[in-house]
Amino acid sequence: MKKNFILTTQLDFAAAHRLIGYEGDCAKLHGHNWKIEVSVIGHTLNDIGMVIDFKQVKQHAKDVVAELDHSYLNDHPHFQRTNPTAENIAHYLYNELAKRLDQDAFKMHQIRVWENDRNYVTYSETDH
């Protein structure tokens, strides 16, 4: 039986955006306190019983999110060609974190991006 250990850490950032092509108020400049949940999966534990130190996951997430924090997302190079929806932000953050985190022993599993207390997007990838 394969063991799945899924570790999740949370962090926040503040950023403004406007949704291009949206019919409604979200086409206007507005901001959110975004909440991010980063989940990493591993199948084995190291000699001290961890998949990876939560602190390492958090540090990678902070490094990636630092580029977006207190910014206008539409000005970011990635979001000049991609609408900064919660879906596209989740996809972008997943890819950036996978580049930094994926190793033999663990890899990115899922990201969740909350726009507010009510609305969130969950993004993950499968190869089947």
Ligand X SMILES: Nc1nc2c(c(=O)[nH]1)N=C([C@H](O)[C@H](O)COP(=O)(O)OP(=O)(O)OP(=O)(O)O)CN2
Question: In the stretch 26-45, what mask flags binding to ligand X with x, by CB under 6 A?
Answer: x---x---------------
Pick the binder of ligand X from 10, 59, 116, 122 (CB under 6 A).
116
109 is catalytic: no
26 is catalytic: yes
Contact in structure between 123 and 108 (CB atoms under 8 Å): no
Tokens 């580049």 locate to 99
Instruction: Write the CA distances from 114 to 2, 19, 37, 43, 86, integer angstroms.
Output: 31, 16, 8, 27, 8
115 is catalytic: yes
Give the residues lining the site for ligand X (CB under 6 A).
19, 26, 30, 85-87, 115-116, 118-119
